[in-house]
Amino acid sequence: MAEPGLEAIEGRVRRLFDRVHEAEQRAGLALGAVRVIAISKTKPVEAIIEAYKAGICEFGENYVQEAETKVRSLPDGAKLHLVGGLQRNKARKAAGMFSFVQSIDSERTAEALNRACLELGRRMDVLVQVNMAAEQNKNGVAPDELDGLLAGLERFGSLNMRGIMVIPPFERSSAYFPAARALFEEQRAKRRQHGGFDVLSMGMSADFEVAISEGSTMVRIGRAIFGER
């Protein structure tokens, strides 16, 4: 018997893509301009496979250890993003499993990941995590620390600095989107000569349409795909 709720995933994904495409159109974007990352933490592999069959190719996990239990059972085309904090002692495992790390928040973490990528002979796309309101219970750098951190990360040749992942307060999250967009655009302009700084990861199930209207290029969706936890 199928896991409860698995049969509903296809319909949720179809409705989600419809909403994303409508938000893209309203924002004057090409269809498919916004990447959808399914947040699959705590979800079984069977649910991830159903979402993949429905058209989702990228999945976000919070913990290296949990991802390790799933990665061998995933479809060949599925890609994993680390959206939770990265412990330096897990950097080598992360470098071997993930295609994207969205949660860089210090030079020491980046250095460990860069070293692991060098050992494995690969380059990895990464984002710097920004804690928009400097909340004590969340990881990420404060907005006024972003410029300094990005400058320090330029020395890590195995990491592609693609942009930022923003974590606003849960309440009134969309109120922080304009500031996050301005922060992203400021840093993109500074790095225009290098190219590739093009990802603003912002927006979740409750607010992704507003996030797209405010410039998000990547949304992180859990509940709207997998249902309530």
Which residue, 213, 212, 123, is CA-closest to 162?
Answer: 123
Q: Which domains does the chain have, with CATH numbers?
A: 6-226 (3.20.20.10)
pLDDT in tens, 77-119: 999 999 999 999 999 999 999 999 999 999 999 999 999 999 9
pLDDT in tens, 113-144: 999 999 999 999 999 999 998 888 899 999 99
The single residue listed with the structure tokens 């698995």 is 6
